[in-house]
């Protein structure tokens, strides 16, 4: 009887939907490959919700994943895929060349056919983050946080002047030493540190072009070794609080975390923590899973494994149909229901 009760509780759909997990987050950290030179791999994102300044209310953030250099581009609104491509050509490609890979979230600009065709024509690969898992694009997320701190400090008394300060914020960001490489983005990408004031500039003698090339290659090798060590430390630190992700099979049923999904409920505080169950379509990679979602859920069906948990099946569990997105209706079990299941349909406790 005790083991049956434990099995019933483990498979209880009400508990699965409404209880949060206290286990370590599934899915070990999978760092992105470390580039070998500046501006070969970039990451892009947007900062929104800013007051209008000189007709702009959005900042396009572009980060070089090798040197950590960044460009901050003010825009009047969230751009389309075509406008995003034009901004990259104007602010990145003409200055640093065409990258090999572009990391972004799954915003409409980056999932459109226009963006895919644009990157395919350039020969650049597209790396999209998992659904509701912005940590996959952690480089730009951290840069955005630093950018917002800079702006708050500089324009707190006049928030609508942020566009005037943005070039100086970019200069300051690219002048600061990065903890990963030990170099500033200027040093890593240009080979020297521009002085804040011209009077502080020191003369640098370069004997030949070959000496400059050797110097830059040596700087990049040292920076890459430092980045590899930093990534290893970050991976070890993060995985102390994580566990290996389960391997999901096509057709297997899972619960989907509802924290970032808009639900039509009367009280968000009392809303279910998970919705579903949904069937697994396939595993995209070791940390991402594609689900078979109903057409009414207008979200991308690929999710990080930390957003899922497997359905525990049991002969004692009542058959429950998945509620439509936004439904707050939950099945209610009575003592009579439990007795009926545990005694194969015979009402009452067996002696």
Q: pLDDT tens, 205-248?
A: 555 656 766 766 777 677 777 767 766 776 677 777 777 878 89
What SS3 string covers 267-308?
A: CCCCCCCEEEEEEEEEEEECCEEEEECCCCCCCCCEEEHHHE
Torsion of CA 10, 14, 19, 24, to 10 degrees: 40
Looking at residue 243, its pLDDT comes to 78
287 pLDDT band, cuts 50/70/90, is confident
| pLDDT higher than threshold 80 for residue 251 | yes
**Over the chain, what is the mean pLDDT?**
79
Query: Does residue 60 have a pLDDT over 50?
Result: yes
Interior angle at CA 154, CA 150 and CA 159, nearest 5: 105
Provide the 10 A C-beta neighbour count for residue 90.
11
pLDDT at 320 (0 to 100): 57
Structure tokens given for 235: 């991976």
Q: How confident is the model at residue 348 (pLDDT cuts 50, 70, 90)?
A: very low
pLDDT at position 258 is 84
CA torsion angle 307 310 311 312 (round to 10): -140
Task: Give CA angle at 345 (342, 350), nearest 5°.
Answer: 55
Q: Is pLDDT larger for residue 11 or for residue 137?
A: 11
Q: Residue 327: pLDDT band by 50, 70, 90 thresholds?
A: very low
Please give the pLDDT value at position 207.
58
- Residue 95 — very low, low, confident or very high, per pLDDT cuts 50/70/90? very high
User: 32 vs 176, which has greater pLDDT?
Assistant: 176
Higher-confidence position of 192 and 309 = 309
How much of the chain exceeds pLDDT 90, in percent? 27
The closest alpha carbon to 280, from 245, 322, 250, 310, belongs to 250
Say what the pLDDT of residue 350 is: 42
Q: How does residue 74 score in pLDDT terms, banded at 50, 70 and 90? A: very high
If you average pLDDT over each of 18-32, 286-300, 303-317, 319-333, which comes out highest? 286-300
- d(CA 206, CA 189) in angstroms, rounded, equals 17
Name the H helices within the chain. 2-10, 13-18, 81-88, 94-96, 108-111, 113-122, 138-155, 162-175, 185-190, 209-239, 335-342
Q: What is the arithmetic mean of pLDDT over 290-304?
A: 85
* C-alpha distances out from residue 33 to 41, 66, 120, 124, 127, Å: 9, 10, 20, 15, 12
Q: Which of 76, 14, 45, 29 is nearest to 234 (CA)?
A: 29
Q: Residue 65's Cα: distance from chain center in Å?
A: 15
Does 257 have pLDDT greater than 80? yes
State the CB neighbour count (10 A cutoff) for residue 23. Answer: 8
The whole-number pLDDT of residue 346 equals 45
**Is 275's pLDDT higher than 70?**
yes
Question: Please, which residues bridge with residue 302 across strands?
Answer: 290
Measured between alpha carbons, how far is 210 from 56 in angstroms, rounded to an integer?
44
Question: Is the overall model pTM greater than 0.85, yes or no?
Answer: no
Q: Of 333, 280, 336, which Cα lies nearest the Cα of 12?
A: 333
* Cα–Cα distance for residue pair 49/30, rounded to 1 Å: 31
**How far does Cα 275 stand from its chain's mean position?**
21
% of the chain beyond a pLDDT of 70: 75
- Please tell me which residue, 277 or 200, carries the higher pLDDT value: 277
Q: How confident is the model at residue 13 (pLDDT cuts 50, 70, 90)?
A: confident
DSSP 8-class letter at 196: S
* Edge-to-edge strand ranges of the sheet holding 41-47: 70-75, 58-64, 41-47, 101-104, 125-128
């Amino acid at each position: 009887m005790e083991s049956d009760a434990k099995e019933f509780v483990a498979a209880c759909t009400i508990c699965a939907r409404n209880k949060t997990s206290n286990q370590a987050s599934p899915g070990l950290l999978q760092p992105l490959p470390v580039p070998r030179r500046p501006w070969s791999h970039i990451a892009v994102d947007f900062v929104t919700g800013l007051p209008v300044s000189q007709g702009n209310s959005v900042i396009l953030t572009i980060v070089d994943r090798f040197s950590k250099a960044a460009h901050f581009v003010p825009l009047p609104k969230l751009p389309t895929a075509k406008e995003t491509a034009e901004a990259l050509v104007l602010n990145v490609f003409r200055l640093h060349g065409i990258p090999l890979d572009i990391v972004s979230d799954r915003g409409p600009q980056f999932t459109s056919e226009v963006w895919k065709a644009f990157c395919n024509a350039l020969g650049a690969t597209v790396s999209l983050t998992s659904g509701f898992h912005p940590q996959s694009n952690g480089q730009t997320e951290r840069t955005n946080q630093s950018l917002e701190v800079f702006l708050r400090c500089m324009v707190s008394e006049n928030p609508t002047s942020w566009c005037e300060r943005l070039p100086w914020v970019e200069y300051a960001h690219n002048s600061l030493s990065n903890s990963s490489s030990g170099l500033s983005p200027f040093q890593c990408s240009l080979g020297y540190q521009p002085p804040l004031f011209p009077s502080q500039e020191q003369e640098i003698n370069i004997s030949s072009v070959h000496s400059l090339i050797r110097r830059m290659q040596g700087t990049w090798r040292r920076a890459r070794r430092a980045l590899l060590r930093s990534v290893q430390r970050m991976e070890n630190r993060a995985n102390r609080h994580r566990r290996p992700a389960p391997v999901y099979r096509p057709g297997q049923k899972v619960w989907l975390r509802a924290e970032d999904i808009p639900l039509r409920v009367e009280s968000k505080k009392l809303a279910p923590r998970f919705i579903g169950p949904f069937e697994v379509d396939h595993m995209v990679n070791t940390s991402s899973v594609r689900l078979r979602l109903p057409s009414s859920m207008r979200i991308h069906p690929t999710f990080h494994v930390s957003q899922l948990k497997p359905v525990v099946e049991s002969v004692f569990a009542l058959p429950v149909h998945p509620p439509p997105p936004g439904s707050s209706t939950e099945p209610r079990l009575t003592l009579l229901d439990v007795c009926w299941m545990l005694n194969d349909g015979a009402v009452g406790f067996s002696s």
